[in-house]
């Protein structure tokens, strides 16, 4: 017998389980996620139980549109914004991969700080300004590479109105999905 009376005004209770059934599947080394579906609550790198991030927007456009970059950067930005396809997904990372990503972000911020200090020194230095300028440019380049490579979780390969195709998942995660 239930000790608590049934309260019709109580908020509904959701069933929670760490393994959510998902409609996503693998196509070789590509993760295919139907739009408006969730990923399993597992790390996309090692398949360990994971906390899901807040939903993020993935954008993609066909590679042919990059030709506008050769004509004019501003025109490319406008055209890319008009033709891009979008998908909103929450991805899961275990604590180990989340910490790795956070460390890359910190390293990128440190590199930006070093680059900024070197740039300031180059502007105020009379004799060795070129050395500081090179150090500044190198630091900013390192920060850009760290931010792009180290913090990227998934990369869109193609987004259609029905599905998003992404690469960057670990083999353990992909092995847990069915193939089509």
**For the range 11-20, what are the long-range contacts, defined as Cβ-Cβ under 8 Å and sequence gap of 24 or more?**
18/49
pLDDT means per 10 residues in the chain (180 residues)? 62 44 83 89 92 89 86 89 92 91 94 92 76 90 91 90 92 88
Please give the C-alpha separations between residue 54 and each of 68, 89, 91, 178, in angstroms, as whole numbers.
33, 8, 8, 25
150: closest CA among 92, 103, 90?
A: 103
What is the overall mean pLDDT for the chain?
Answer: 85
Tell me the DSSP string of 99-167.
HHHHHHHHHHHHHHHHHHHHHHHHHH-SSSHHHHHHHHHHHHHHHHHIIIIIS---EEEEE-SSEEEEE
Please give the pLDDT value at position 16. Answer: 37
Please give the pLDDT value at position 125. Answer: 76
Please give the pLDDT value at position 5. Answer: 64
Token pair, residue 21, equals 């059934």
pTM for the structure as a whole = 0.70
Question: For 25-72, how does the pLDDT look when each residue is reduced to its tens digit (9 = 90+)?
Answer: 999 999 999 988 888 899 999 999 998 888 989 999 988 888 888 888
- Contact call for residues 44 and 170 (beta carbons, < 8 A): yes
């Amino acid at each position: 017998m239930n000790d608590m009376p049934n309260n019709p005004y109580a908020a509904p209770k959701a069933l929670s389980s760490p393994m959510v059934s998902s409609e996503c599947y693998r196509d070789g080394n590509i993760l295919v996620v139907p739009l408006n579906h969730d990923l399993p609550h597992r790390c996309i790198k090692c398949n360990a139980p994971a906390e899901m991030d807040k939903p993020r927007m993935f954008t993609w456009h066909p590679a042919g549109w990059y030709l506008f970059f050769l004509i004019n950067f501003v025109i490319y930005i406008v055209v890319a914004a008009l033709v891009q396809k979008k998908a909103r997904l929450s991805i899961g990372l275990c604590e180990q991969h989340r910490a790795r990503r956070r460390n890359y972000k910190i390293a990128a911020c440190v590199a930006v700080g070093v680059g900024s200090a070197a740039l300031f020194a180059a502007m105020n230095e009379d004799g060795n300004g070129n050395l500081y300028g090179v150090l500044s440019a190198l630091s900013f380049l390192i920060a850009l590479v760290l931010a792009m490579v180290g913090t990227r979780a998934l990369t869109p390969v193609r987004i259609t109105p029905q599905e998003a195709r992404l690469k960057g998942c670990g083999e353990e995660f992909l092995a847990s999905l069915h193939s089509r």
